[in-house]
Amino acid sequence: MLKNKIPPVIVVLFFAVLMAIIAHYSVIDFTTFIAYLAVVLVVIGSIFCIAGVVSFRLAKTTVNPSKPEQATRLVSKGIYKYTRNPMYVGFAFILAGWGVWLGSLWAILCVFGFVFYLTVFQIIPEEHALQRLFGQDYSDYKARVRRWL
């Protein structure tokens, strides 16, 4: 036998009224939270981008994304132990931060479009070029490290 004697609809109405009263007397302005979240996402993205560039520079290989065939070394240390594309991950975080700053769910969803486009038209062609250059070493690296995160 149920111990609850109050119909669930009444409980819903009670909590709806309670929430309305609480909201009326304790309005929370999310503007500051949104601003901080946007800044945090952009900072995280910037760190990923900088770490990727630094790793390439330390390895003395090209950072130019339009000429992956000019790579002289397979970089798999530093940030590249965690993602094969830290600069692109960084860009995605930066775009997510921008979308949060704009306060638009539709704008934030554009990050998925960015990820899809970059995967198809930039990353996959880069991977083919790196596979030709580094062969089994690159295959082993791909097996260990994710494309994004």
Instruction: Check pLDDT > 90 for residue 143.
Output: yes
Please, which pLDDT band fits residue 24 given cuts at 50, 70 and 90?
Answer: confident
Distance, in Å, from the CA atom of 145 to the CA atom of 56, rounded to the nearest integer, reads 17
Instruction: Check pLDDT > 80 for residue 132.
Output: yes
60 alpha-carbon distance from chain centroid: 27
Distance, in Å, from the CA atom of 25 to the CA atom of 23, rounded to the nearest integer, reads 6
Q: What's at 17, amino acid-wise?
A: V
Instruction: Check pLDDT > 80 for residue 148.
Output: yes
Predicted pLDDT of residue 25: 84
Distance, in Å, from the CA atom of 62 to the CA atom of 70, rounded to the nearest integer, reads 7
Please, which pLDDT band fits residue 2 given cuts at 50, 70 and 90?
Answer: low
Distance, in Å, from the CA atom of 80 to the CA atom of 125, rounded to the nearest integer, reads 18
